[in-house]
Amino acid sequence: MNWGVYEAAIRRWEAVLGRPTPHPTQPGNHGRPVLAPAFVEHLMGLAEGWVTDLPLPRTAQLRALGNGVVPQQAAYAVALLLADLAELLDINTGTATDHRSPTGQEVTAA
């Protein structure tokens, strides 16, 4: 498959996941190409079959994927929140302090 300008990004993601990228489309009910849930699942970094092995129609699989969370983003967000909390509570000295988080939001220890 020719990924055009996305070739390098696709290859990097394949290296991260350790598996090839599935074809982005599949034949629809009327023979026209439609978005393949396996492609979306792959782009989100989910395990192969995480959603696509469920006995759901294609549209329900896409809905589930669209309402899902990318695990890598969630892990990064939680890490940032935990770092903010640790700094807020000043875990090293055991005292709570007021400060601005890396995002610039004012936070105050309760």
Supply 107's token pair. 């936070």
Tell me which residue has tokens 């990004």.
9
Tell me which residue has tokens 């105050």.
108
DSSP 15: H
Predicted pLDDT at 89: 87
Q: Percentage of residues in the chain with pLDDT exceeding 70?
A: 82
Q: How far is Cα 13 from Cα 1, in angstroms, rounded to an integer?
A: 15
Classify residue 38 as exposed, middle or buried by CB count within 10 Å of its CB (0-12, 13-18, 19+): buried
Give tens-digit pLDDT for 18-61.
999 999 999 999 999 999 999 999 999 999 999 999 999 999 99
Name the residue type at position 39: F
| Cβ neighbours of residue 9 closer than 8 Å, sequence gap 6 or more | 3
